[in-house]
Amino acid sequence: MRKLTFLLACLLLVSVGLVNAQSKSISGKVVSADDGQPVIGATVKVKGASMGTITNADGVFKISVPESQKALVVSYVGMMNAEVVAQNGMTVKLQLDSKMIDEVVVTALGIKRDKKALGYSVSKVEGGDLQKSNEPNIIEGLAGKVAGVQVTSTSGTPGASSRIIIRGQKSINLSSQPLIVLDGQIIDNSINNNAGSGTNVGGVDDSNRAIDLNPEDIENVSLLKGAAAAALYGENARNGVIIYTSKKGSKRKGVGVDFTASTGFEVLSNMVDLQHTYAAGTNGTTYVAPAQYGSDGFATSNGTNQSWGPLISSVPGLKSYDNVKNFYKTGKTQNYNVAFSGGNDKGTFRASLGHLNQTGIVPNTSLKKTTFNLNSEYNFTDKLSVGADVLFTNTSGVRAQKGSNVSGIMLSLLRMPASYDVRDYQTSQGYNKNYYAYYDNPLYTVYNNPYKDETNRMILNGHINYKYSKWLNAMLRAGADTYTTHAQQNYSYTSNGNSTSDGSGQVYVDTYNKSLYNVDLIFNGLVSLTDDINLNYNAGGSINSTSSNDLYSIGSTMLEINKFNLSNFSTFTAQNYDSKQIKEGIYGSLEFGFYDQFYLTMTGRNDWSSTLPKNNRSYFYPSILGSWLFSKTLNLPSWVSLGKLRGSYASTYAAPGPYNTITTYTTPYYYDTFGPQLYSPYGGVGAYGYSTTLKNPDLKPEHNKEYELGLELELFNRLHLNTSAYKSTNYDLLVTAPIAPSSGSSYYYTNGPTVENKGLEIELGYDILKGKDLEWNVSINWSLNRNKVIALQDNLNYSAEGSDYFSGSSPIPAVVLGQPLGVFYGSYYKRNSAGQLIIGSDGLPVMATDSKIIGDPTPKWSGGFRNNFKYKGVSLSFLFDIRKGGDIWDGTLARLNRLGVTQASANNRAATYVIPGVLEDGTANTIAISNKAYYVSYLGDGSGSVNETSVEKDINWIRLRDVSLGYNFTKLISNAHSLSFVRNAELTLSARNLFIITNYKGIDPENSFAGSSSNTIGFDYFNSPSTKSYYLTLKFGF
Partner 1 sequence: MKKIKYITILAISFLALTSCQSELDSYNDNSNSPSQITYPTTLLTGAEVGTIMNATGNLPRTFTLLTQHTNGNSFQSLDFTNYVLTETDNETDWSNIYQAGLNLNEIITKFGSTYSYYDGVARVLMALNMGYATDLWGDVPFSDAFKGLSNFTPKYDTQQEVYTKIQLYLDSAIIDFAKPSNTTIVPGADDIFYQGDVDKWTKLAYGLKARYAMRLSQRDGSTVAATKVLQYVANALSSSSDNLVATFDGGNNQNLWYGFDNQRGGYMSMGKYFIDMLKTDIDPRLSYFASKDADGGYSGSAPEDANSDASPFGSYFAGSGSTSNIIFSFSEVKFLEAEAKARLGSTADAQIALQAAISASLIDVTGSDDATFAATYSADASIKNIITQKYISLFTTLEPYNDWRRTGYPVLTPNQNSQSKKIPVRLITPRSERTLNANATVVSSMYTPVWWNN
> Which whole-number Å values give the CA distances from 401 to 155, 209, 450, 504, in the listed order?
12, 19, 8, 18
Q: Which is nearer to partner 1, 470 or 718 (CB)?
A: 470
Helix (H, G, I), strand (E, B) or coil at 110: helix
Report the C-alpha gap between 931 and 1003 in whole angstroms: 24
**Smaller CB distance to partner 1: residue 548 or 757?**
548
Q: What is the DSSP letter of 409?
A: H
Nearer Cβ to partner 1 (670/871): 670
CB of 520 to partner 1, least distance (A): 10
The DSSP bridge pattern shows strands 812-814 and 347-359 to be unpaired
Instruction: Specify the residue, 182 or 612, whose C-beta has the smaller distance to partner 1.
Output: 612
* Distance in Å, CB of 382 to partner 1, minimum: 15
Shortest distance (Å) from residue 169 CB to partner 1: 22
Nearer to partner 1, 587 or 880 (CB): 587
At 507, give phi and psi (nearest 5°): -135, 135
Q: How far is the CB of 405 from partner 1 (least distance, A)?
A: 11
Task: Report the nearest approach of partner 1 to the CB of residue 304 (Å).
Answer: 7
SS3 letters across 154-171:
CCCCCCCCEEEEECCCCC
Q: Which residue number, 23 or 666, has a Cβ lying nearer to partner 1?
A: 666
Distant-in-sequence, close-in-space partners of 127: CB < 8 Å, separation ≥ 6: 215, 218, 219, 220, 221, 247
H/E element, 2: helix 2-20
Q: Which is nearer to partner 1, 548 or 993 (CB)?
A: 548
Is residue 20 classed exposed, middle or buried when 0-12, 13-18 and 19+ CB atoms within 10 A define those classes? exposed
Query: Which stretch of DSSP H or E encloses residue 16?
Result: helix 2-20
Q: How far apart are CA 831 and CA 5, in angstroms?
A: 74
Looking at the Cβ atoms of 98 and 943, the one nearer to partner 1 is 943
The distance of closest approach from Cβ of residue 279 to partner 1 in the complex, given in angstroms and rounded to an integer, is 17
Work out how close the CB of 144 gets to partner 1 at its nearest, in angstroms, rounded to a whole number: 38
- How far is it, in rounded angstroms, from Cα 909 to Cα 931? 6
Closest CB 302 distance from partner 1, rounded Å: 6
Q: To the nearest whole angstrom, how small is the minimum distance from the Cβ of residue 697 to partner 1?
A: 8
Strand runs labelled E in 231-317:
241-246, 256-268, 292-293, 299-301
Question: Exposed (0-12), middle (13-18) or buried (19+): which is 567, by Cβ within 10 Å?
Answer: exposed
Asked whether 437 and 303 are in contact (CB, 8 A), the reply is yes
Measured from the CB atom, the residue of 343 and 752 that comes closer to partner 1 is 752
Q: Which is nearer to partner 1, 811 or 864 (CB)?
A: 811
In the bound state with partner 1, the residue whose beta carbon lies nearer, of 627 and 691, is 691
Q: Return the sign of the alpha-carbon dihedral for residues 867, 870, 871, 874.
A: positive
DSSP letters spanning 741-769: GGGS-SEEEEE--EEEEEEEEEEEEEEEE
Shortest reach from residue 378's CB to partner 1, in Å: 22
Dihedral of CA atoms 984, 986, 992, 997 in degrees, nearest 10, equals: -110
Q: How far apart are CA 33 and CA 944, in angstroms?
A: 76
Residue 767: phi and psi, rounded to 5, are -90, 95
- Shortest Å distance, C-beta 106 to partner 1: 24
What is the closest distance, in whole angstroms, from the C-beta atom of residue 178 to partner 1 in the complex? Answer: 25
- Which residue, 523 or 766, is less far from partner 1 as judged by CB? 523
